[in-house]
Amino acid sequence: MSGGLKSGWTEGIIHCNRRLCPVCGLRIAVRRILVLRARAKWVGEHHPMALHTTGALTCRHRDGNEPRQKYDALSLLWDEYKKQDWVSGRKKRGVVVVPRTLLGYFMAAEDTFGINGHHPHLQFGASLDAPPTLGEDGRIAYFEAFRDRSQAWFRENAPRFGITGEWKDRWMTMATSPIDAVVRYTLKGEKEEAVSALMGQGLTRKEALTRLWLEKEAAVTAISGEVVGLAREATLGQLKLDRTGASFFDMPVIEQVRLWNATKGMRWFRVGGVWRDAQTDKSDEALAEENETAGIRIAGIAHSAWTYLACEIWHVLAGLVEDVRFSRGCVANVWEAAQAMAFERMDQRSIRDTLVSMIPASPEQEIPRTPES
């Protein structure tokens, strides 16, 4: 959480507001998903016949490639794509000559790491202005035609930007609604801790990944207007597993540092068209600052108790503060319990396990009261 200080101190915690930070990235991503969910409702009401899709724009990569160069090239490729008449339309003297197809989009940069090094890509959701007279079969045909033309264009034009386009049809799929597009965009992968938990039940890594994938598909199918599984991939992909099952934290430390330095000042999230409003267009820093509670004392731990606690417990306490889904009462109860157990000089493992048990698996659950000393 340390780094370039922009927001100042918030109850003793310094925020770097970087998307790759596991603490700040969660804060930013949760806020981003909440504003996208709100905007999805507006899009659905004002464009009821729009066709919604999610996809990924990526390129070939090799070990030793500069990740920032790939990100910049993909971004420029996307900008050029939007300029095409068949994508954004064209007017002449105020008259529509070519109707637009792309109503709007939202997009986040991601990175996975494997035997071929860093694999940058842009994960996006988009809304298309499909003709209202199309039936279900016609909408599918319309989507497939748009997907195929986009694929051909990206492959043909990627070399102009120093990259080789990479594409598979299954990387671009239809969504049933705007909120479904947000869900599909959010639930793209599985965190390492979820995989580890299933492996602890006797499953192999492959079986665990398959189980989580099926759960994700079931969640998408059963969606009823809410972003379920918000925490599963709340970091919008920077912790995403690659095809070999490796996550961001499995890459060598030197590569983590390299990625951190390479992406300094990079724009991680972009939005346009009908998906853009004052909230969705906010920068990562602006969204992170909305979570700040400077000047409001939620809970505190005496210095003598804090210094007794292990670093691992500090991380649990700090992470709870940063997760905006939990009530401030929940935070206060856990912090008070930590102080009480520290004063009792309980062993560190017991303190950790007790605090973790007090944090509900779902933010909607009521947190237990502070345990008796």
The mean of the pLDDT values for the chain is 75
Range scoring the smallest mean pLDDT among 77-81, 144-148, 207-211, 322-326: 207-211
- At residue 220, the pLDDT reads 41
Pairwise pLDDT comparison (88 vs 167), residue with the higher score: 88
Predicted confidence band of residue 207 (pLDDT cuts 50, 70, 90): low
| Confidence at 367, pLDDT banded by 50, 70, 90 | very low
Of 274, 303, 263, nearest to 71 by C-alpha is 263
Cβ neighbour number for residue 338 with a 10 Å cutoff? 27
pLDDT digits (tens, 9 = 90+) for 221-266: 443 333 333 333 333 343 444 444 444 545 677 888 888 888 888 8
Contact between residue 66 and residue 155 where contact means Cβ atoms under 8 Å apart: no
Provide the pLDDT confidence category of residue 22 given band limits of 50, 70 and 90: low
Residue of 208 and 6 predicted with greater confidence: 208
pLDDT for 239:
40
* In the chain, where the domains are located: 9-289, 303-358
pLDDT-derived band of residue 97, with 50, 70 and 90 as boundaries? confident
Could you tell me the pLDDT band of residue 370, with boundaries at 50, 70 and 90? Answer: very low
Nearest to 56 by CA among 198, 165, 177, 132: 165
What mean pLDDT do residues 85-95 have? 86
Report the pLDDT value the prediction gives residue 222, as an integer from 0 to 100: 40
Given a contact cutoff of 8 angstroms between Cβ atoms, the answer to whether 326 and 318 are in contact is no
Is 220:183 a contact under the CB 8 Å cutoff? yes
pLDDT at 224: 34
Per-residue pLDDT tens digits for 183-202? 666 644 334 444 445 555 56
Digit-coded pLDDT (tens) for 283-323: 877 777 766 544 456 677 888 899 999 988 988 888 787 67
The rounded distance, in Å, linking the Cα atoms of 89 and 70 is 28
Q: How high is the pLDDT of residue 183?
A: 65
Cβ-contact 316, 356 below 8 angstroms: yes
pLDDT of 112 higher than 60: yes
